[in-house]
């Protein structure tokens, strides 16, 4: 769903935010970090490192648990509105659209050209997967109509 962080291709022409969220936020480059995980799994990021900046007022944190997910969002103080905007996006994958993906990327602090590249990559990847599924589906359908092993089922070992 919230893609730019989740499916980062190795050939990106820009440096993604994954693993660099806190550094980018403290430099004022990234206004929002969003982490989503299944309960009870822990996040892959060092949460205490983020939380140290809460008391100093450098970050704002909001956490939501809606089973089976746990969401953790950090924002720069002047960008707290981004948390609400991110949470307003659909949660269901089947309701997710390219416009939602673009908006989430904007909220996370990616630039226009980066977002355009990401969306084009997702589109071409989705098209390739769709074509693969269609071809595989036809092969499987044909294959299931004939058995290659002619022995009776009871004779198979």
What's the total number of domains in the chain? 1
Query: 6-14 — which CB contacts under 8 Å span 24+ positions?
Result: 7/122, 7/125, 9/121, 12/117, 13/117, 14/111, 14/113, 14/114, 14/117
How does pLDDT run along the chain (157 residues), one tens digit per residue? 444 444 555 576 566 777 789 999 999 999 999 998 888 877 767 888 899 999 899 999 999 888 888 899 999 999 999 999 999 887 766 678 889 999 999 999 999 998 999 899 877 766 555 554 444 444 444 443 333 333 344 444 4
8 A C-beta contact, residue 72 and residue 61: yes
pLDDT at 9: 54
Flag whether 1 is in a domain.
no
Range of the domain at 60: 21-137
Identify whether 64 is part of a domain: yes
| CATH code for the domain of 121 | 3.30.2190
Q: Looking at the domain assignment, is residue 157 inside a domain? A: no
Residue 3 lies in a domain: no
Q: What pLDDT was estimated at residue 59?
A: 97
Which pLDDT value is given to residue 1? 41
Q: How many other CB atoms are there within 10 angstroms of residue 103's CB atom?
A: 16
Asked if residue 122 belongs to a domain, the reply is yes
The answer to whether residue 156 is domain-embedded is no
pLDDT at 54: 93
State residue 10's pLDDT score: 53
Q: Is 7 a member of any domain?
A: no
């Amino acid at each position: 769903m919230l893609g730019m962080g989740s499916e980062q291709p190795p050939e990106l022409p820009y440096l993604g935010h994954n693993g660099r969220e806190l550094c980018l936020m403290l430099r004022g480059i990234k206004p929002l970090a969003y982490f989503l995980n299944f309960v009870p799994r822990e996040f892959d990021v060092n949460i205490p490192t983020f939380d140290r900046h809460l008391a100093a007022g450098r970050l704002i944190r909001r956490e939501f648990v809606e089973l089976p997910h746990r969401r953790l969002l950090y924002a720069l103080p002047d960008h707290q509105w981004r948390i609400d905007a991110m949470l307003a996006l659909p949660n269901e994958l089947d309701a997710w659209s390219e416009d939602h993906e673009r908006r989430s990327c904007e909220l996370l602090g990616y630039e226009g050209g980066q977002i355009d590249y990401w969306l084009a990559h997702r589109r071409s990847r989705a098209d390739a997967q769709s074509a693969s599924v269609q071809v595989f589906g036809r092969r499987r359908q044909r294959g299931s109509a004939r058995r290659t092993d002619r022995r009776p089922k009871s004779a198979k070992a």
